[in-house]
Structure 1
Amino acid sequence: MKIPTHILAPLMLTLFLAACQGSSIDDLSPNGAGTQLPDKLVKSMKAKGMSTTSPVMFRIFKEENVLEVWKRKDNGRYDMVTSYQICKWSGKLGPKFIEGDRQAPEGFYAVRPAQMNPKSSYYLSFNTGFPNALDRTLGRTGANLMVHGACSSSGCYSMTDGQVAQIYAFARDAFKGGQESIQLEAFPFRMTAANMARYRDDPNYAFWKNLKEGYDHFEITKVPPKVDVCEKKYVFNHTSDPNAPIAATSACPPADQPESLKMAYQSYQSSYETAFSSMVGKGRIQPPSRSIQGLTEAKIIADWSARRARGERVTQEPPSLSPQDKDAASKPQVMVRLASAVAADKAKEEREASKRSRMTRMTASAAPMSIPTTTPAPAVQQPASAPQTTAALTSGAPAAAAEQPAPAKKAWWKIIGN
């Protein structure tokens, strides 16, 4: 088919300009995948000894609603270039446990070129890499957890379109410079002594202490740590050999770290422990934010998500076990009661359905009354307490005998429609 000249000419001009400017066809894709970084940012990077194609890393802090962009300088250490306020992230503080719990993940992830999506329905996006080796070892499930635009989230980190265009550009340019994977670190909060003291009683505290080890390694070295998984936990800079085999479920091999790093980490930890103890003594100045209360709550929320997806009437917000939730905090043993309520509600629905089915079968199988040809004798009046017969149920008067059972009351979390 011959393409008309008035269509072919602009297309050829566009391709020519792209070639002249060193761009590619990918840069012409929709959603701003070819957006260039602002001159102000480029000048700031150059002043710090960075280039647009030097390696990059991202750090996310949920409680502070911040995504930070760090790039490698000429001396090999990283420095922060800029940061963005996260428009919306899903769930509460704490890791993602199972599909449907609406949790944005926490942990150490690797973003590779294949995870970049220039044609995302959410303007632009890249996959976080969840689940990673630790998530899989712990049985955590979920898929398509993204950093994306459109300011809408259900398990993701969502930015404005303008923000994600720049974040996408940082990653795209680093890949062009030869970086094979970008480290994405997602934390519940800045892991300072004050914040760790605030959350010392949280059910996620053990997991957060493990995350803090990687956080500390970066604070000390200003280089993204080498991340491995063994004994069902993260280990950081554990070996100097990048190809050393470490199995996620096996015992961790002997640590092989430079003596300078060991000493720096010990010194850092000593200062931290002193600060942590002093913060515990002062009490909590700032109350902790809501956090997911483990797998029990994750399962309840996942059930709520499934019901909502089926079109059932559920509460506008998912049920919560967080002690900061006033409704949950006012109910004793709320974790047990909510979990049992989910099962009880399903059982009640099944009983009602079975009862209606039995009533239908009984009505359908009853023999029809024959119409008498002569005037019947006066019926003997039954006592008021006598039970009704099958004939009475199928006689002309439907009366109360054929009445269906009253509908069951809705469970408390299904009253409000969404």
Structure 2
Amino acid sequence: MAAAVAVLLSGCVADGLDDLSKSAPQLSSKTIAEMKKKKMSPASPVLVRIFKQESELEVWKVDASGQYALFKTYPMCRWSGKLGPKMTNGDRQAPEGFYHVSAGMLNPNSQYYASFNLGYPNRLESALGYTGDALMVHGACSSSGCYAMTDQGVGEIYAIVQKALAGGQERFQVQAYPFRMTADNMALHKDDPNLPFWRTLKQGYDAFEFTRRQPKVSVCGRRYVFNTEFEGGEPTDPLAACPPAMSTADPNLMAKLDAENKKVEIAMSSVKSSAVFAYVDGGMHPSFRALLKKNGANKMAASISGIKYPVSRPDAALADPYAGPSIWKPAAKPEDSTSDR
């Protein structure tokens, strides 16, 4: 187990805390070499995807083809709440949705080593009356509504996104999902009250999966709308009905999206009832859970964060509420406040 954990965490903790300084995280020569191998430049645009149930964060970058390609998948040390969107300040929910992060939302001096603010609530969430603030991706292994990556993990992610923003990208998109949005996973959650919201998220997920291009995100009709041009320009009221859409969609993409929708319907019809989980509190990547079980919360906290911030609710993290039935199948792989948010 120890050997397996070491391999899984090689991108986050293998180099140790001695590599962390008090200055803003910088791209390492190793990371730059990895980018070069994948035909990516440090200044090329970046996109981030987050998956709660799998406790993983993906960093994508534009490569020589002009499309996004997966640069690296990072194991997440801790997230809190349960599957579903954040709606209320203090509910411990980590948000789900589409966010855009600019340079001013990066914090190199976070009390959790380094962080970037997701910008929750976004324009749609604000219009719907959702409350909360300071929802971050940050270091350490403690969450009360944030996504905690460890100091080493967030340091590398911070350096990557900062370099892309400095290279001319005005802001980068963060797509936060409850799980990898395959047809099978959607079917296994078909009885969840959040399913209508998740089906909307899946439209953006699929658009990116099929094109490897950042989806254009609009908000109207109380929902996200993707890759759509509207008569009269972008909708200004997220709660009002969407204006008439102009037909600009790629026919090949529309065919793929339609086929995926049919695949979801077939999967749902084949599942009699969806999985039910007892709510504990969030999740933790299996590699970190193994460390927690082996070393205990205090020793683990000291090994992944220079500030030795306590692991949040370690008993809940060990419980692993998603360890029952097979809920997800991994897809083929091609920030700062102490409030309760």
TM-score in terms of structure 1 length: 0.59
Percent identity over the alignment is: 47
Match of 1:287 among 275, 281, 291: 275
Match of 1:113 among 89, 103, 121: 103
Match of 1:231 among 221, 245, 256: 221
Q: Give, in angstroms, the shift of residue 263 of structure 1.
A: 3.7
CA 118–242 in structure 1, closer or farther in 2 if over 3 Å, else same? farther
Match of 2:76 in 1: 86
| Alpha-carbon RMSD | 2.8
For 2:124 and 2:136, how far apart are their aligned partners in 1?
18
Secondary structure of the 2:110 match is coil
Secondary structure of the 2:95 match is coil
Match of 1:33 in 2: 24
Alignment of 1:13-92 (within 5 A): 31-39=22-30, 41-92=31-82
Q: Give, in angstroms, the shift of residue 267 of structure 1.
A: 2.9
Structure holding more helix per residue: 1
Secondary structure of the 1:119 match is coil
CA 31–254 in structure 1, closer or farther in 2 if over 3 Å, else same? farther
Task: String of CA shifts for 1:304-353, please: whole Å, max 9, x gaps.
Answer: xxxxxxxxxxxx999xxxx99xxxxxxxxxxxxxxxxxxxxxxxxxxxxx
Q: Give, in angstroms, the shift of residue 190 of structure 1.
A: 0.6
Q: Give, in angstroms, the shift of residue 289 of structure 1.
A: 4.4
Alignment of 1:120-199 (within 5 A): 120-199=110-189
Q: Give, in angstroms, the shift of residue 270 of structure 1.
A: 1.9
For 1:190 and 1:209, how far apart are their aligned partners in 2?
12
CA 147–237 in structure 1, closer or farther in 2 if over 3 Å, else same? same
For 2:167 and 2:22, how far apart are their aligned partners in 1?
22
Q: Give, in angstroms, the shift of residue 251 of structure 1.
A: 1.9
For 1:254 and 1:190, how far apart are their aligned partners in 2?
31
For 1:197 and 1:142, how far apart are their aligned partners in 2?
30
Match of 2:266 among 268, 277, 280: 277
Asked if the contact 1:111–1:183 (Cα under 8 Å) also holds between the matched residues in 2, the reply is yes
Unaligned residue ranges in structure 2 (runs of 5+): 1-19, 281-313, 323-341
Q: Give, in angstroms, the shift of residue 117 of structure 1.
A: 0.5
Match of 1:300 in 2: none
Asked if the contact 1:198–1:288 (Cα under 8 Å) also holds between the matched residues in 2, the reply is no
Q: Give, in angstroms, the shift of residue 239 of structure 1.
A: 1.3
Q: Give, in angstroms, the shift of residue 272 of structure 1.
A: 4.0
Q: Give, in angstroms, the shift of residue 74 of structure 1.
A: 2.6
Equivalent position amino acid for 1:238 in 2: T
Task: String of CA shifts for 1:5-58, please: whole Å, max 9, x gaps.
Answer: xxxxxxxxxxxxxxxxxxxxxxxx96341332352x323322332101100010
Matched, 1:218 2:191: no
Structure holding more strand per residue: 2
Equivalent position amino acid for 2:229 in 1: T
Match of 1:17 in 2: none
Asked if the contact 1:30–1:119 (Cα under 8 Å) also holds between the matched residues in 2, the reply is no
Q: Give, in angstroms, the shift of residue 224 of structure 1.
A: 1.1
For 1:209 and 1:279, how far apart are their aligned partners in 2?
12
Secondary structure of the 1:109 match is strand
Match of 2:248 in 1: 258
Q: Give, in angstroms, the shift of residue 221 of structure 1.
A: 1.1
* Bigger Cα Rg: 1
For 1:271 and 1:97, how far apart are their aligned partners in 2?
29
Q: Give, in angstroms, the shift of residue 262 of structure 1.
A: 4.0
Match of 1:330 in 2: none
CA 134–192 in structure 1, closer or farther in 2 if over 3 Å, else same? same
Which has the bigger relative contact order, CA under 8 A and spacing at least 6?
A: 2
Q: Give, in angstroms, the shift of residue 271 of structure 1.
A: 4.0
Secondary structure of the 1:108 match is strand
Equivalent position amino acid for 1:265 in 2: M
Q: Give, in angstroms, the shift of residue 97 of structure 1.
A: 0.9
For 1:100 and 1:167, how far apart are their aligned partners in 2?
27
For 2:71 and 2:201, how far apart are their aligned partners in 1?
23
TM-score in terms of structure 2 length: 0.72
CA 248–106 in structure 1, closer or farther in 2 if over 3 Å, else same? same
Secondary structure of the 1:129 match is coil
Q: Give, in angstroms, the shift of residue 276 of structure 1.
A: 4.0
Alignment of 1:297-376 (within 5 A): none
